[in-house]
Amino acid sequence: MVAQRLDGKACAAEVEEELLIRITACKEKGIKPHLAVIIVGDDPASHVYVGSKVRACERLGIQSTHIELSADSTEEQVRDAIFSLNEQTGLHGILVQSPLPNHMDEEALTDLIDPVKDVDGFHPQNLGRLVQGRLDGMLPCTPSGVMRMLSWAGIETEGKTAVILGRSRIVGMPQSLLLGAKGIDSTVTVAHSRTKNTADLCANADIVIAAVGRPEMVTADWIKEGAVVVDVGINRVDDSTRERGWRLAGDVHPDVASKASWLSPVPGGVGPMTIAMLMENTVRAAEQSYTV
């Protein structure tokens, strides 16, 4: 079997087309969706991600505000920036780019974002709604992007067994809640660094979602013939054959394509979907600003 490509770039392009219609409707009501991104420090990967988000805003006609703070800023300075953005009318979404410097408490800062502007979906109020099975609010962008991609490809989830590799607040845990939610109806197992029989769990799964951060950890012998495999991982690995000396690798080995029915590529899979879902959350927040 050769896996079909779970093409996040193509799916994201369709999401953007739908968003353009909604953004036009917002503008007709005098509202221009507006996203603010706070970035602290000079982690090169974070600056690349923020650049992609700003470019997506430009493509869609969403206003973006970019707040850069130096790595030695205090937590109080970030807090003040969040409070000021919370107060700003006409600003609909706030995102604090992860990771923050080690001297800052990322979760505590996320808690300060007004939940209606929490376009990352990490505020306890929004995660709590997800735990309650309410899927109509601000959902975390990466896992909701995975769900959109599965639905776009017509992949059946009801009654399927799914293994999620990773239990982070950002990806693995909300992903497990989404896949197991009523109406999506997969039976979910969450594996983490202490799980003993990870390969065996994967070998029995209809759907495997890898969100670990270990390059090409999931190999073809872990995967059942015909399984759907989603690779969330983005890892930079040394590669002397490339001029720049490195390449991006997922958490899934490319050989998995010989066993899986569907496989998402890295890059071009979950990454573009994460950004598309961020744009959608921003547009939703803007729409809510005139419907409430």
Residues that bind ligand NDP (CB under 6 A): 142, 165-168, 170-172, 191-195, 198, 211-214, 232-235, 270-271, 274
132 is catalytic: no
125 is catalytic: no
Residues in Cβ contact with 278 at an 8 Å cutoff, skipping those fewer than 6 apart:
35, 53, 56, 93, 95, 119, 120, 141
Q: Calculate the CA 173 to chain-centre distance.
A: 12
Identify which of residues 161 and 168 has a Cβ nearer to ligand NDP in the complex.
168
Q: Which of 7, 118, 120, 251 is catalytic?
A: 120
Shortest CB 161 distance to ligand NDP, Å = 17
Identify which of residues 247 and 288 has a Cβ nearer to ligand NDP in the complex.
247
Shortest CB 77 distance to ligand NDP, Å = 24
Shortest CB 292 distance to ligand NDP, Å = 30
The pair of structure tokens assigned to 242 is: 């490339």
Of the candidates 238, 273, 267, which has an alpha carbon nearest to the alpha carbon of residue 250?
Answer: 267
Shortest CB 142 distance to ligand NDP, Å = 4
Q: Calculate the CA 187 to chain-centre distance.
A: 21
Identify which of residues 91 and 150 has a Cβ nearer to ligand NDP in the complex.
150
3-state helix, strand, coil split of the chain in percent (to 5) is 40, 15, 40
Identify which of residues 77 and 168 has a Cβ nearer to ligand NDP in the complex.
168
160 is catalytic: no
Q: Which of 7, 97, 118, 175 is catalytic?
A: 97
Shortest CB 45 distance to ligand NDP, Å = 8
The CA distances from residue 27 to 10, 33, 181, 235, 284, in Å, are 26, 8, 34, 39, 13
Contact 57, 95 (CB under 8 A): no
Identify which of residues 3 and 122 has a Cβ nearer to ligand NDP in the complex.
122
Helix (H, G, I), strand (E, B) or coil at 257: helix
Is there a cis peptide before residue 99, judged by omega within 30 degrees of 0? yes
Handedness of CA 218, 220, 224, 225 (dihedral sign): positive
Residue nearest to ligand NDP (CB): 168
Q: Point out the residues that are catalytic.
A: 53, 97, 120
